[in-house]
Amino acid sequence: MAINNEIKMGDSYSFLIEATEGSNPRPPAHEPPGKKKRGLLRIISLCLCFALLGGLIGGSVVYQRYALDAPASQEDEPPQLSTAANSATNKRSGAPLTASQVYEKGVISCVSISSVVTERMYGNPFTSTVSGSGFIISEVGHIITNYHVINGADTNKISVTLYDGKTYEAKVIGYDEDNDLAVLRINESGLTPVSLGSSDDLVVGSPIYAIGDPLGTLNFSMTAGIVSGLYRVISTDNSSDINTFQIDAAVNTGNSGGPVFNSYGEVVGIVTAKYADAGVEGLGFAIPIDDVRYMVNDIIDVGYVRSKPYIGITVTSATVAEHSVAGALVHSVERGSAADHAGIKEGDIIVEMGNRKISSLQDLLSARARHRAGDTVELRVYRDGSYLDISLIFDAKPQV
């Protein structure tokens, strides 16, 4: 069992983030560099007690912010990713695209990322190459990837290779460890950003396409599949309780941080992990793009995510057999927290958040991930045999 100051985890299954260490030979000059990944991931099947104290709870947020070698001009305003499901970035017309059309539209906005990491083993320093994928979100060089792709990297040794083969030194604008999210920037303009879709539109069975660099040599490969499941809460070595959706498209070493497209060529997710075990195939996980829009904006604005939703309760899953209803059972309420101000009490069982039915702790975590500090949400709680409707205004997770 893994225990930290905010979470005690019960039974869990071991997962592997597609990440390995070691040197990674560069392919021929006409090909982008390959990819490798590292880290462990697990899906939590049972939580004995979870401190639902804000954000996607895990370690404290640490961030770095670096200026580009050449600062952007005043005309180069940072992008703002709309949180509206039908924003201009989501406008589409015509029939869904073929797989080849999705690739043609999306691949020019995809990138390869390679970083040099210095670590110590038995007291001796050694270097390794950690690589991954990413995608362009602005004409002036902002790029989204996973935090674990650049974790521990020498800030002067992160390189990004575009589809046209050009390679650039990248700087870290900021990141959020809890959500396995990072924003980089290269000193270039006139780039082609991806079109963003809405992950809210996804249903089980929706066709999806992932583009990345599997195995470190198969650069800018596309795999196809469907959405296999929604609201999967996973944890990694660096991040805890990330809301994801499950896909059966093949993802391998090198895909982390790459985009997941819908059938209109719009990005609806970020590949973050795969299940790795003998006899297991087709279990990949992607972060919904709608969950991270405001996070990306915060990172670009101030270098970190400042708007993580904070409730202020500890909860476990409640079952019908033990409590007459299924939901998230409140064990304690932090004094002065959002929950305290809303009137939530110890022993309450949260059964709905907004329009989402809550049948377990994982459902509550997933539903909360769609909100930010300052949002108002309607909760339905079961208390002493009756149902109550409660309005809650999310606080911001304190910066530790």
At 226-270, the pLDDT tens digits run 999 999 988 766 667 899 999 999 998 789 999 999 999 999 999
pLDDT at 277: 62
Please answer whether residues 48 and 8 qualify as being in contact, where contact means their C-beta atoms are separated by less than 8 angstroms.
yes
Q: How confident is the prediction for the chain on average, in pLDDT?
A: 79
The tokens of 150 are what?
Answer: 């650049």
- Distance between CA atoms of residues 57 and 51, nearest Å: 8
Q: Sorting pLDDT into bands at 50, 70 and 90, what band is 399?
A: confident
Taking the CA atoms of residue 300, residue 304, residue 308 and residue 314 in that order, the dihedral angle to the nearest 10 degrees is: 160
pLDDT at 257: 95
What is the longest distance spanned by two Cα atoms in the chain? 69
Tell me the per-residue pLDDT of 107-129, one tens digit each, with 9 for 90 and over: 999 999 998 877 777 878 778 88
pLDDT at 116: 84
The pLDDT > 70 percentage for the chain reads 73
For residue 368, the surrounding DSSP H or E stretch is helix 361-368
Please answer whether residues 33 and 162 qualify as being in contact, where contact means their C-beta atoms are separated by less than 8 angstroms.
no
Taking the CA atoms of residue 50, residue 52, residue 57 and residue 60 in that order, the dihedral angle to the nearest 10 degrees is: -110
pLDDT at 7: 26
**Greater model confidence, 218 or 160:** 160
pLDDT at 238: 65
Tell me the per-residue pLDDT of 262-285, one tens digit each, with 9 for 90 and over: 999 999 999 998 766 666 677 899
Topology match between the domains 1-306 and 309-396:
no
Tell me the per-residue pLDDT of 37-82, one tens digit each, with 9 for 90 and over: 433 333 333 232 333 323 333 332 222 222 222 333 334 555 677 6
**Greater model confidence, 366 or 240:** 366
pLDDT at 79: 66
> In the predicted model, what is the mean pLDDT of residues 182-191?
96
> In the predicted model, what is the mean pLDDT of residues 209-238?
87
Residue 288 has pLDDT above 90, yes or no: yes
Query: Which of the four CATH numbers 2.40.10.120, 3.30.2020.30, 3.30.360.10, 3.20.20.70 does domain 1-306 have?
Result: 2.40.10.120
From 72-76, 294-298, 362-366, the region with the lowest mean pLDDT:
72-76
Fill in the DSSP letter of residue 185.
E
Residue 96 has pLDDT above 70, yes or no: yes
The domain ranges of the chain are 1-306, 309-396
Exposure string of 187-205, with b = 16+ CB inside 10 Å and e = fewer, is: eeeebebbbbbbbeebeee
pLDDT at 17: 31
pLDDT at 92: 63
Can you tell me whether residue 367 is helix, strand or coil?
A: helix
Catalytic residues: 148, 180, 256
Tell me the per-residue pLDDT of 301-331, one tens digit each, with 9 for 90 and over: 999 999 899 999 999 999 999 999 999 999 9
CA 182 to chain centre: 9
Neighbours of 71 (CB within 10 A): 9
Q: Which CATH architecture has domain 309-396?
A: Roll (2.30)
- Distance between CA atoms of residues 224 and 109, nearest Å: 18
Contacts of 164 (CB under 8 A, 6+ apart): 108
The pLDDT > 90 percentage for the chain reads 60
pLDDT at 23: 34
Residue 215 has pLDDT above 60, yes or no: yes
pLDDT at 18: 34
What pTM value is reported for the model?
Answer: 0.74
> What residue type is assigned to position 197 of the chain?
G
Q: Sorting pLDDT into bands at 50, 70 and 90, what band is 89?
A: very low
**Greater model confidence, 58 or 334:** 334
> In the predicted model, what is the mean pLDDT of residues 175-186?
94
The tokens of 170 are what?
Answer: 């990248």
